[in-house]
Structure formats: C-alpha cells, structure tokens
Chains A and B, each alone.
Chain A
Amino acid sequence: MEQKLYLYPVWLRIWHWANAVLFLLLLFTGLSLQYSSVEFSFIDFDLAVTMHNVSGIVITIAYFMFVFGNRFTSNGRFYKAKRKGYILDLMVQIKYYIYGIFVHQKTPFPVTGNRKFNPLQKLSYVASMYFLLPILILSGFALIFPEIIIKNVFGMSGIHLTGLVHISSGFALSIFLFIHVYFCTIGKTPLSNFKSMINGWH
C-alpha cells in the first residue's frame, strides 16, 4: 500500500482556500468594473468597487501569511529550484503532459516528501505567487490611492499605465487559475488533489 504524505499543513490550506475565494471575488468584480455598462452590469459599480477593494486588501493580508509561512516553515523549500538541468527537467515534464500522459507513462517527477511540485508546477507557482501576484497587489493598491501614482509617464497617464498593468497581470493570473484547476484533475482520481487540499494528505 502506498504511503500517504502530509504535504499541506493547516495554515497552507486555510491560505489556499481563502486565496481562491478572494481571487474569484476579485475576478468577478474586476470584470464587472472593466466591462461596466449603463444597460447591464453583473453587479452595481459602486458595490463592485467596494467589494474589489476589500477583497484586494484581504488577499494582500493572506499573501503576507503565505510569504511568512514559506519563509518560516519547511514548505518554502518546495518553491526553490536547482538551476542546473532545470530546463531539461521542464522539457521532460512538458513532454509528459503532451504525450506521455496519454500513453500511460509514469510521471517523470512523482510527488515525494521532498518534492511536492514537478518542474512545470514549480515554475508556474513561483511566477504566479512571486511575480504576478505582487505586481497585481502593488498596482491594485496604487489604484486605491491614485494620488500616489506618477501623473505622467512618457506622455501617458500614470493611472492609465497602472490600470493596464493591473488588468494584464490579473488576466494572466486568471488564465493560470483555469490551467491550475484543470491540472489538479490529473491525480490518482480527478478529485484526489482537491481532497488533498482539504484534508492535507497526498
């Protein structure tokens, strides 16, 4: 019988689901703001602004919890990648997803106590959590306090530029969300990874 691994501590699971719910709220209210219309809106503009701002502040607090958790617990080690041979490992993983998985090859980087993520997961999680999300949070806070934004950047409104950065990084993260949810169905059973993120055991 395969040994179960306890990979998702309580703080991580709380952060993960809080982050998921808040991100969906932000996505929904953000889309409502971006595509607001007199004739039709998913949600009233002013309510959407309030919900978006509050959710943004709470997701920021949650993000700090995530960063501190990774800094001061052993969970942080899963996000560190070895430089040597990483690209090669990445190619092996991509090849598995576009071919190997269909011919029932064994996953090239199975989950162990020391390796929670395969190289592709590691890249996408690091890019999302340590690059895109900080950009999204910083640009979001700048838009809450627009008076702090530089007025003009090479002839372009600073607020406009910040808005573009915010929307683009939000869009990239929402694409990540769809891919993330789909790839989570690639487990022992389609639901096993979701259950792991509830009970903590892989």
Chain B
Amino acid sequence: MSRFVAKSIVIGVISLWMIVSASASNAEDTVVFENAEFNHQCFKCHGQKTYHYFNEASGKVVKERMNPYFVMDSIEFYQSNHKSFMCTDCHSSDYENFPHNGELRMEQKFNCMDCHGGDDTYAQYQFERIEEEFQASVHSTKHSDEFTCWMCHNPHSYKINARNNDNINDVIVYDNNICLSCHANLDKYQLISDLTNPNVLVTHEWLPNQALHFSKVRCIECHTEIDKEMLIAHKVQVKEKAVRRCVECHSQNSLLMATLYKFETAEKRNKLGFFNATILSDHYIIGANRNYYLNVASLIIFGFVLLGITIHAIIRIMTK
C-alpha cells in the first residue's frame, strides 16, 4: 500500500511539474503582434485556399476558391521582417471594404526604397548602396523596371537570415530558394523574360560534386561581385563573370569568408589551429581548412626525417 502511495506521489509531482513548465514555456513563447487583430480581417480570406461571403443579390452565402497567388501564409508573414505591419500600411485602406474595388489592383506598389531609402533608422543596412549595386546588376540592366526588389524579396515572407541564423545550412537553402524561385520556375521566370529558362543543373555540369556545392554554398557566392563593405552583395554578374576558379574558395583566403561566413565569428584561426575555422562547424573545404599546428608538425617531422637521412648518409660516406 505504502509503495502505491509513494508511486502516486512521484507521478503526481512529475505531472504537476510538466503542467507548470509547459504553461510557463507557453507563456514565454507567446508573442503578440500589435496589428494581428486588424490583419486577421485580411487573413480570414487571404490566409485560406477558400473564402466565403454573403451574396446580397442571391441572398446566399457563397464559397469560392482563393486565387493561389493571393494566398498569404500568415505564419511566414509573422516571422518576416514586416511582421509588425498592418496590411494597409502598404495596401490601400479601400481594401477594408468587400467586395474589393477591381481598380485597386492597378495601385502602384511600394518598392523598398520608398520606405527604407534616406532613413537613418535603416542606415546600417546600406539600402542606398544595395540600390546602386542592384542597378548595376544583370537583374536590373537586362530587365529594367520589370525587375523589382520583390522578385527576390517577397515582402510578405522575406526575413533577414544570414546574420540571425546559427544554422548555416538553413541559410544556404533559404537564400538559394530565392534564386531558384525564378531560375527553376519557368512560370515566374517568363514574367520578365522570353528566354527559355536555362536548367541550372545542366549549366553547372562542369562543377565537380555538384550536389555538394549546391547544398553547401549559395548561388550568390559565385554570381555576385563581392564588396567587403556591403552586408550582402547585390551586384549579380553576367554568367561570364561568375567565379569559376576553384581556388577562389579552396584556399586560405577563401572568398567564402567574405560572403557566406561573413556573419560568423571573424576569427582567422581557432584554438585548435584550423584556418577559417568557422566553416568547420558544418563543412570542410579542401585548401581553406588547413591546420596551422598540423602544418608545423608535418614540417618538423619532415625536417627531422631529411636531417636523419642526411646525417646517416654522410656518416656512411665518411666510414666507407
């Protein structure tokens, strides 16, 4: 009997602890977005694949499919850079009325610089320099005004990634998916180009271990002109200017340290002696991750071997 009571107490204490810790962590996890209630009016329809409304003419509630291009993922939105926005911060307040006025579709959309340009609040992000680089990039020069920031940075979902994310693999996948959203998607690609979408697998056939390169580095590592003062390069180059020399990355002065690993710790060599050690948390790059101590040790061993051979040979000759 006493064993039963003891077991019950233990189970009870553990259960209580689990309930308390779960509710505590729920409280910590809960984030309130100031405009969530207002935005919910939009997400009620635009966050779903279907929506319904009361049709006054027929006197019935009608259920319709939502145009998939107008469906917004509310979870992505509330994780994005613009999570604190009201929908009508960027879209006309006339959208508050339903049915929406058809002419609202013709409204001029904001671009990044309308809000971020010339504002000291955003000075650290160097939007003006990003704009300059973008204007000089192949995306702008070949596609003029049709190519806007939104082509790559979806305002409803884009989030700063590289400098906030500890998992470099996630950063790579996220950033490469931005490029692939056009370069592996003919529908979007042909919005701004009549060209046949080149198959990136075919155009990169020359790249050894292609799958490994695609999963371990971002497209922009090779396809942008690196400016060390920029947080992230935006000057996408014509393909002829893309990095093709392996040693640009596979060397002690690997350009990856100025791009992909820019936001990692700036140390050149860690305590264990590995050059560009930040790479080693997940990856290994031949040529870039040589080890200082192993280099020294191998030179010393090699030196002693040569010295031993030389001394042995000299004594052999002298005692011949």
Contacts and interface: CB of A to CB of B under 8 A. Distances in A.
Interface of A: 33-38, 41, 44-46, 49, 97, 101-104, 146-147, 156-157, 159-160, 163-164, 167-168, 171, 175, 178-179, 182, 185-186
B212 interface: yes
Interface stretch (B95-103, B123-131, B284-292): B284-292
B209 interface: yes
A34 B312 contact: no
B286 A34 contact: yes
B319 interface: yes
Interface string B151-194: 00000000000000000000000000000000000000000000
Interface string B302-320: 1001100100110110010
7 contacts: A37-B247, A38-B247, A41-B247, A97-B312, A103-B319, A163-B284, A171-B298
A68 to B, nearest CB: 31
A118 B211 CA distance: 49
A59 B251 CA distance: 27
Contacts of A36: 246-247, 250-251, 286-287
B252 interface: yes
A49 B245 CA distance: 13
B247 A35 contact: no
A163 B287 CA distance: 11
Contact of B208 (A46, A103, A160, A185): A46
A175 B305 contact: yes
A38 B246 contact: no
B283 A159 contact: yes
Contacts of B309: 178-179, 182
A178 to B, nearest CB: 6
A35 B208 CA distance: 19
A33 B250 contact: yes
B251 A37 contact: yes
Contact of A146 (B209, B253, B312): B209
Contact of A157 (B208, B247, B248, B280): B280
Interface in B247-267: 247-248, 250-253
B176 to A, nearest CB: 18
Contacts of B305: 175, 178-179
Contact of B245 (A45, A160, A167): A45
B312 A182 contact: yes
Contacts of B302: 175
B60 to A, nearest CB: 57
B301 interface: yes
Given A163-B284, A182-B312, A49 B208 contact: yes
Contact of B248 (A34, A38, A44): A38
Given A147-B212, A175-B305, A179-B309, A37 B284 contact: no
Nearest to B244: A46
Which 4 pairs from chain A and chain B are nearest by CB? A45-B246, A160-B284, A36-B287, A159-B284
A167 B211 CA distance: 24
A34 B283 contact: no
A185 B313 CA distance: 9
Nearest to B302: A175
Nearest to A182: B309
A33 B316 contact: no
Contacts of B251: 36-38
A102 B315 contact: yes
Nearest to A40: B247
Nearest to B304: A175
A163 B291 CA distance: 11
Given A163-B286, A175-B302, 14 more contacts: A34-B290, A36-B247, A37-B247, A37-B251, A38-B248, A38-B251, A46-B246, A102-B316, A102-B319, A103-B319, A146-B212, A156-B280, A160-B280, A178-B306
Contacts of A160: 280, 283-284, 289
Contacts of B315: 102
Contacts of A101: 316
Contacts of A49: 208, 246
Given A33-B287, A147-B211, A175-B302, A45 B247 contact: yes
A50 to B, nearest CB: 8
Contacts of B120: none
Contacts of B212: 146-147
A161 B251 CA distance: 18
B240 interface: no
A182 B248 CA distance: 38
Given A34-B290, A38-B251, A157 B284 contact: yes
A104 B290 CA distance: 45
A90 B291 CA distance: 35
Interface string B267-295: 00000000000001111101101110010
